[in-house]
Amino acid sequence: MLAIIVVVFISYLIGAIPSSLWMGKLFFKVDIREHGSGNAGATNTFRILGWKAGSIVLLFDFGKGLLCTTVVSRLAWHIGSGPVTLYGNWEVDSMILILCGVAAVVGHMFPVYANFSGGKGAATACGMLYGIEPVSISISLAVFLIVMFTTRYVSLGSITSAFIYPFSQLILRYGFNWDIDGSIIVFSSVIAAGIIIKHKGNIKRLLEGNENRVKSFKPSKGRLHNEQSAA
């Protein structure tokens, strides 16, 4: 059990790295939390700092989740006497992958390095789930990019990709006999639901027709002062 606690804690610390905040301060001399939605995530970075900064932050946040599931989780087998099963009917490996990935997502949403004010977790969750099962999350990634670049709503891309992810896993498992552990589907559904709930403000604005789009995917000084709607 000690091994699990240690790797989960490490995963949280990695997930808590505030990439968008550091990007804004180091290269643009701005605190992204003081502009746009005030959200320290990839969505607000795209809108306020442009597509280059947004893409770097998106990839970094994705990498946090991927690193924790593919590398950090494996450290559990080398700490103490090794991990234990939390639920007998689910694979131990899957459970550890999930716990580390969830810790990274929680770290991104509530980062200790930034007064527990972070992003909405979509990119980090995507990286986490890619490390666990790459095919279905690749489908969600494709949907995210298509929706984002065709509608210029980053939030809509995040919401849509999160929504379809558990369903794509179910189709792969029961329609194509894909070997996906039941615990992965359950936790993927929980993460997807959490991401959608985190975007409840965006959903409201989308329905009302006043959600702000990413206009040009280029940084704009004007947007640093005028962008007010949430990401």
99: Cβ contacts below 8 Å, ≥ 6 apart: 4, 7, 8, 11, 73
User: Is the distance from CB of 141 to CB of 59 less than 8 angstroms?
Assistant: no
Measured distance CA(102)–CA(196) in Å, rounded: 15
Query: pLDDT of 143-183, one tens digit each?
Result: 988 998 899 888 899 899 989 989 999 999 999 998 887 87
Measured distance CA(214)–CA(113) in Å, rounded: 28
Measured distance CA(3)–CA(67) in Å, rounded: 17
pLDDT value of position 182: 80
Measured distance CA(43)–CA(49) in Å, rounded: 10
User: What are the structure tokens assigned to 159, written together?
Assistant: 């919401």
pLDDT value of position 225: 45
Measured distance CA(105)–CA(87) in Å, rounded: 22
Which residue ranges in the chain fall short of pLDDT 50?
221-222, 225-231
How many other C-beta atoms can be found within 10 angstroms of the C-beta atom of residue 225? 12
Query: pLDDT of 34-49, one tens digit each?
Result: 887 777 888 788 878 8
Rg for the chain, CA atoms, rounded:
18
User: Is the distance from CB of 42 to CB of 123 less than 8 angstroms?
Assistant: yes
The residue count of the chain comes to 231
Instruction: Kindly provide the residue ranges of all beta strands, DSSP E only, lying in 109-148, ordered along the sequence.
Output: none
pLDDT value of position 91: 59
Q: Which of 56, 54, 65, 139 is nearest to 99 (CA)?
A: 65
Measured distance CA(201)–CA(143) in Å, rounded: 21
111: Cβ contacts below 8 Å, ≥ 6 apart: 15, 16, 17, 18, 40, 117, 118
Using DSSP, state whether 123 is helix, strand or coil.
Answer: helix
Domain boundaries, the chain: 2-215
**DSSP classification of residue 211:** P
